Structure 1
Amino acid sequence: MSDKPYAFNPPDVPKPPPTYSQVSVTDLLPTSKLITLAGQVGLDSNTHKIVDGFDAQVKLAYQNILNALKGAGATPRDIIHVKHFIVKDTGRVGVESEDELTRVWGHHWMEFMDKEADGYRPPDTVLGVAALATREILYECEVWAIVHK
């Protein structure tokens, strides 16, 4: 056990710029570790390009989350908190009702968590933002997880 975080880039998650790593693991006790993921987006690890369209970006972001968690020895069932960032220009934030919000991107999240975490629903925060790292990114998802060894 180390008392310092370990940061790395799993091989099947898009390689980030040199300013950050995709995953960080911090041992909390000899029996537990905290895993934090960089915000995952719809970046294709084969083409190194952001996929077109909001829905496609959301789905690929969740696949990248799954791959990053696996690289850290975790699953979506180990998630303790999620932050969803949605660029306001998509028209996807500031919707009129919770039902509408769920239809906009939430159905992809629930489908992902139903398949990968038996319907588990960790706490989350949804933020409408003016922009993300690059112009073409419309959605980003940040995840924290804890694994008990």
Structure 2
Amino acid sequence: MSSHDMKRQLINPSPTQAIYDALHFSQATRVGDTIWVSGQVGIDTATLAPAEGVEAQTRLAFEGLKSALRGAWASLADVVDLSTFHTDLRGDMEAFSRVKDEYLTELHPSWTAVGVTQLALPELVVEIRAVAVAGSGDG
């Protein structure tokens, strides 16, 4: 692998460029074929408002994850490690898992679910971060 292949690339799809500019973090970082995706939450990028309920927030978070991966030339099939953070871990797990399984249908990644007392905004109930290896899901 050449040194050019190992250069860090910051991934900020256009709907999230303002977040990078304001808060100084990237939606994803790619080095070689490995992609680290920042925590994605259930905020509608058009209205900047959190969705209502765990299922709706989970869908928006997975859509954000999908968008960040697309910007890094990868897909959800390339996710090898998933970390999720829940303000009601036990109460929301069934609904969360149902939505997760709609997005991650094959080659289920390693997964760690963590209960937390709060997320960045009081209305947020779930956050998803991931590590992907581009091309690894091309079975």
Task: State whether TM-score is above 0.5.
Answer: yes
Letter matched to residue 113 of structure 1: L
- Partner of residue 48, structure 1: 48
Paired residue secondary structure (1:57)? helix
**Structure 1, residues 66-109: CA drift from partner, whole Å, max 9, x if none?**
11111110011111100010013xxxx246xxxx83x2310100
In structure 1, what is the Cα distance between the partners aligned to 2:56 and 2:76? 20
The one of 5, 11, 14 aligned to 2:14: 11
| 1:135 is the counterpart of 2:122 | yes
| Structure 1 residue 20 corresponds to structure 2 residue 20 | no
CA contact (8 A) 1:41 1:57 kept: yes
The aligned counterpart of 1:85 is 85
Instruction: Please name the residue that 2:111 is paired with.
Output: 124
Task: Say if 1:58 and 1:148 are closer, same or farther in 2 by CA, change over 3 A.
Answer: closer
TM-score scaled by length of structure 2: 0.84
TM-score scaled by structure 1?
0.79
- Separation in 1 of the partners of 2:17 and 2:60? 11
- For the pair 1:38 / 2:41, whether they are aligned, the reply is no
Preserved CA contact (<8 Å) 2:10 2:28 = yes
Query: How far is the alpha carbon of 1:146 from its aligned partner?
Result: 0.8
Aligned length: 131
Q: 1:2 to 1:111 in 2, by over 3 A?
A: closer
**What is the 5 A alignment of 1:39-118?**
39-88=39-88, 93-94=89-90, 101=93, 103-114=94-105
- For residue 95 of structure 2, give the secondary structure of its aligned residue in structure 1: helix
Between the aligned partners of 1:128 and 1:107, the Cα distance in structure 2 is 18
- Paired with 2:66 and 2:96, the residues of 1 have a C-alpha distance of 17
Alignment partners' CA distance in 2, 1:43 and 1:14: 15
Q: Percent identity?
A: 26
* Structure 1: runs of 5+ lacking an equivalent: 28-32
Shift of 1:19: 2.5
C-alpha distance in 2, partners of 1:137/1:14? 21
Contact 2:42–2:58 (Cα < 8 Å) also in 1: yes
- Aligned residue type for 1:24: T
CA-CA distance at 1:18 after TM superposition? 2.3
